[in-house]
Chain A
Amino acid sequence: METLLNDFSPGLFAVSTILLLALIALMVKFAWKPILNSLEERESGIEDALAAAENARKEMQNLQSDNERLIKEARAERDEMMKDARNITDNMIAAAKEDAKEVTATLIEKAQASINQEKQAALAEIKKTVAELSIGIAETVIKKELSNKKDQLALVEGILKDVTLN
């Protein structure tokens, strides 16, 4: 213990205290502060980058699911539209058919009506012509054979018979 105390040099203690204080101050100022700051900066940078990558990944996932949803919706919409279009065309065809049927029916009706009319007109004409012809015939017959009363009556009877038979 005595030799230890004897070995202890107060001068060296003072010198090393001053030198060490200077060394600590210089090291802190010129080395440790900038080094630790840069290390922390780098570490936080890495952390931020990792967080950003994670966020980007999540965003991508969201985008992907959005895309899928959109595609599904679009597909559904397309199907709906196709169905609608088909319905519309079917309806249109059906309606057109209906219309055509109606139109033909009316046309036929009209045609029949006009045919009937024509027929009636023709019949009337024929009747009129027949009547005129009959009258003409009757005139001539009358003119020619109206000498005897008996013949006259037989003729009228014969004509009437013919007429009702017609």
Chain B
Amino acid sequence: MRIAYKTVKFLTIVAITLFTAVSFASESDKKHDVQNDGGRVNTKSEVEAYILHHIKDSHDFSLFSYTSDSGERKHVGFPLPVILWSSEGLVTFMSSAFHHNDDGHVIVEKNGLKFAKIHSKIYELDTDAATVSFDETHHATNAHKTLDFSITKSAFGLIVIGLLMLLWFSKLARQYKTKKVPTGFGRVLEPLVLYVRDEIARPNIGEKHYRRFTGYLLTVFFFIWILNLAGLTPLGFNVTGQLAVTGCLAIFTLVIYTVSGTKGYWMHMIWMPGVPMLIRPVLAIIELAGALIIKPFSLLVRLFANISAGHIVVMSLIAIMFTLKESLGVVGATGLSLVLSFFITLIEVLVAFLQAYIFTMLSALFIGMAVDDHAEAH
């Protein structure tokens, strides 16, 4: 186990050094301004498209791209499995089959079905179509979306971070078997666990019930926080900026506080005591909408919007390097970009923690409201 841990540590360090070196190299590549740019991202609209593409989910894990001397666009990364539920049932292949094409020109044939990838979505072509045809608004006319259960970049990131969390915290858990105070990395993790338990779960849920929900809150807190931080690395994860993931987390919270709500909680929601009879149904509608729609919606949108916005801002500031090159010169644009993106990244590190804290805190608060005894009459 110790050896395995050492290996993981070593690999992480190697990966980090590699990625920093690589991203540096790719940036210097981008500075070349040749007439025929071979897919280089160096105009305003290209930057915009690149950023919007980045914050979306993707089917392969691309670390960086560059344009070779022959003007060919090269992508460095690794493919991820594509799992589709098509009209003919389950279809699987590796994402490398699309050759990094994202505009529907590469057709993959599998089990007699044709698939194309358009803007990170996989479409199944109609049986008689050979290529994808588009209408004026760039919508495919002869293809339809499939149910896509692929291990995308986000799902991959989720698995990696999940395994990392399991490794770290089960190691901490095993440490307690032999000693009262953890050593090494466990000493860093323990106060964080205590922080979530004593500052988030306990005060918001209450001394009586907090024990039941602390496991969920701890998982959510560390999951969001670590993935937020991973999103700031050059790996380019944007897991917590995916609506599907934040929606999933928000629905978990919704299910937990709906299922564990006490009688008093439901009574106060549906038939508020102490107000005139005529107002009660109106209040019930407002309360139900608040509990079942607005609360989870606020959770999912807050996290999604904050993280996505953070990514957009950081990448836009990095892109100043290209977009303001004409007006400020190479040195000026690069310097400005470096200073601004440095400071905004510092703020994003804070935001990464803050959003994890807010999501967990609000979840705890909602659960606390649901399990509260409501003994006192309002």
Q: Which A residues are within 8 Å of any B CB, using their own CB?
A: 4, 7-17, 19-20, 22-24, 26-28, 30-36, 38-39, 42, 45
Binary interface encoding of chain B residues 232-243 relative to chain A, with 1 for a CB under 8 A from any of its CBs, else 0? 000000000011
Q: Which residue of A lies closest to B249 (CB)?
A: A20
> Roughly how many angstroms separate A81 CA and B359 CA in the complex, as a whole number?
82
**Chain A residues, Cβ within 8 Å of B95:** none
> Roughly how many angstroms separate A7 CA and B246 CA in the complex, as a whole number?
13
- Interface residue B259 (Cβ < 8 Å from any Cβ of A): no
Binary interface encoding of chain B residues 197-238 relative to chain A, with 1 for a CB under 8 A from any of its CBs, else 0? 100000000000001001110110001000000000000000
Q: Number of contacts between A and B (CB, 8 Å)?
A: 121
Q: Do A8 and B243 form a contact, CB below 8 Å, given A23-B223, A34-B173? A: yes
> Roughly how many angstroms separate A24 CA and B149 CA in the complex, as a whole number?
20
B176 x A38 contact (CB < 8 A): yes
A39 x B194 contact (CB < 8 A): yes
**Chain B residues, Cβ within 8 Å of A31:** 165-166, 169-170, 172-173
Partner of B162 from A10, A23, A35, A38 at Cβ < 8 Å = A23
> Roughly how many angstroms separate A9 CA and B121 CA in the complex, as a whole number?
9
Q: Do A20 and B244 form a contact, CB below 8 Å, given A15-B151, A27-B219? A: no
Task: Flag the segment in B152-160, B321-329, B330-338, B365-373 that touches A.
Answer: B152-160
Nearest CB on B from A81, distance (A): 57
A32 x B219 contact (CB < 8 A): yes
A19 x B215 contact (CB < 8 A): no
List which B141-195 residues lie within 8 A (CB) of chain A: 147-152, 154-155, 158-159, 162, 165-166, 169-170, 172-174, 176-177, 180, 190, 193-194
> Roughly how many angstroms separate A16 CA and B159 CA in the complex, as a whole number?
9
B194 x A27 contact (CB < 8 A): no
**Chain A residues, Cβ within 8 Å of B158:** 16, 19-20, 23
- Interface residue B57 (Cβ < 8 Å from any Cβ of A): yes
**Chain A residues, Cβ within 8 Å of B150:** 11, 15
Partner of A33 from B57, B215, B243, B249 at Cβ < 8 Å = B215
Quick one: which of A8, A14, A22, A32 has the most chain B CB within 10 A?
Answer: A32
A35 x B173 contact (CB < 8 A): yes
Partner of A24 from B174, B211, B216, B245 at Cβ < 8 Å = B216
Binary interface encoding of chain B residues 31-44 relative to chain A, with 1 for a CB under 8 A from any of its CBs, else 0? 00000000000000
**Chain A residues, Cβ within 8 Å of B193:** 35-36, 39
- Interface residue B252 (Cβ < 8 Å from any Cβ of A): yes
- Interface residue B56 (Cβ < 8 Å from any Cβ of A): yes
